[in-house]
Amino acid sequence: MAKKEETISMIDTFAEFKELKNIDRTTMISVLEESFRNVLAKMFGTDENFDIIVNPDKGDFEIWRNRAVVEDDKVEDPNLQIALSEAKKIDEDYEVGEEVTDEVFFEKFGRRAILNLRQTLASKILELQKDAIYNLYKDKIGQLISAEVYQTWKKEVLLIDDNGNEMLLPKSEQIPGDVFRKGESVRAVIVEVDNKNNNPKIIVSRTSEDFLRRLFELEVPEIHDGLITIHKVARIPGERAKIAVESYDERIDPVGACVGVKGSRIHGIVRELRNENIDVINYTTNISLFIQRALNPAKISSIRLNEEEHKAEVFLKPDEVSLAIGKGGFNIKLAGMLTGYTIDVYRDIDEEVEEDIYLDEFKDEIDEWIIEALKGIGCATAKSVLAKSREELVEGADLEESTVDEVFRILKAEFDDSEEA
């Protein structure tokens, strides 16, 4: 009964190994042979006189031992030598000095040998599986995957792909509003693959710019076919995104193709991104025009560029300033991310308010970070600040009340001095 169990155990070992995916045949045979040789070397002190034939397709193997024929009383190492009388039982024609090759049945070596082999193979299998996972995914960074939610934790979600491989979706890589349930399918892009301490880890993301790129490639055939190119992508996950596209075929409107008839193509992407608003704009190498398009829907009156420092001063009519900045400052922030320029927004000062002064003129009295905070809510001039209430500046620019009071004092003093003069 024990022998039967041992034989089954050996068959199971091969069945497990045969089921491994992404392991090439040569590697499989090499590892199996090495495992057998390790066990044989421990048992007999050497494995050099053994020939091992492995057939992983059928899940079987053969072990042949080579021994020198010696006189019956000259056998010193039964593993390397065989008595002439024993050799003649195999074949009457054997003579002293010849070599006998006979098959060895591994299961006859006993339970301990089989257990040793299984443990050696299990270790090798685990190592190969880890290497195979790492090698399979290391070149797939940026690619879109679809996987099933296996378990959710506070800081991350465990996903399982079609091959049974584990992937981690950290909280930081999830779109605000993402809620996952066990068993549902989730799409993401691979952003990191490492094999630290031979422990492969695959990190995926839904907040990456590449995730938006891959979704457009999936939904817009012209992008997939190379007729439209995505040049730039900027995202504030879950809030808003801007994507700059260009067509190499004059007959194709790149923006229209990406949006689709009545928004048919972009709606699916927006839903996937938890209703993240997406602005699709035409790409251009003319940076002034590109910045104007990036600030859409605001209409720019004029623009002043500093290409060396990658800065742009944009002038707009007062009622366009809030459009340029956008809700929460998202529009101007994304425009800067998309174009690579730091964008400062200024109100056009008409003839009736010529006496107004830009805040930059007060850098000697007001800290620069305070001026930048005020610009961030569309207040680029002294009078635009004074036109706001104390509460509006405290809440909108995230300033202390005492700071706002001091700013008011400095700006009012400037105009008071001007009137006295």
CATH numbers and ranges of domains, the chain = 2-136 (3.30.1480), 145-207 (2.40.50.140)
Q: Contact 270/238 with Cβ under 8 angstroms?
A: no
Can you tell me the distance from the alpha carbon of 161 to that of 285, in angstroms, rounded to the nearest whole number? 41
Residue with tokens 């996937």: 272
Task: Give yes or no for a cis peptide into 176 (omega within 30° of 0).
Answer: no
Q: What angle do CA 69, 72, 75 make, to 5 degrees?
A: 65
- Going residue by residue through the chain, which has 421 residues, state the pLDDT in tens, using 9 for 90 and above: 444 444 444 545 555 555 555 566 677 778 788 888 888 888 888 989 999 887 766 667 888 989 999 998 888 888 899 999 988 888 888 889 899 988 888 777 777 877 877 787 778 777 877 887 888 888 899 999 999 999 999 999 999 998 888 999 999 999 998 999 999 999 999 999 998 877 889 999 999 999 999 999 999 999 999 999 999 999 999 999 999 999 988 899 999 999 999 889 999 999 999 999 999 999 999 999 999 999 988 988 888 899 899 999 999 888 888 889 988 889 999 999 999 999 998 887 654 445 678 888 888 889 988 988 888 787 888 888 888 888 888 888 888 999 999 999 988 888 776 555 4
The per-residue pLDDT for 359 is 85
Can you tell me the distance from the alpha carbon of 406 to that of 240, in angstroms, rounded to the nearest whole number? 35
Alpha helix (H) ranges present in 138-235?
209-219, 221-224
Q: Give the closest residue to 69 by CA, choosing from 54, 80, 57.
A: 80
Dig out the tokens for 164 from the structure: 């049974």
365 vs 361, 362, 406, 407, CA distance in Å? 9, 5, 10, 9
**Helix, strand or coil for residue 122?**
helix
Strands 156-160 and 228-236: unpaired
Other beta carbons within 10 angstroms of residue 315's beta carbon come to 18
User: What is the total residue count of the chain?
Assistant: 421
The per-residue pLDDT for 421 is 47
331 vs 73, 206, 300, 376, CA distance in Å? 96, 21, 14, 11
Q: Which residues of 50-83 are buried (b: 16+ CB within 10 A; e: fewer)?
A: bebebebeebebebebebbbbeeeebeeeebbbb
Q: Contact 306/327 with Cβ under 8 angstroms?
A: no
The per-residue pLDDT for 360 is 81
Q: Which residues contact 134 (CB under 8 A, 6 or more apart)?
A: 193, 194, 195, 200
Does the pTM surpass 0.85? The reply is: no
Amino acid code (one letter) for 381: T
Dig out the tokens for 252 from the structure: 């194709």
Alpha helix (H) ranges present in 196-353?
209-219, 221-224, 254-259, 264-272, 287-294, 318-325, 330-339
Bridge partners, 146 (sequence order): 187
The per-residue pLDDT for 181 is 93
Cα Rg of the chain, angstroms? 37
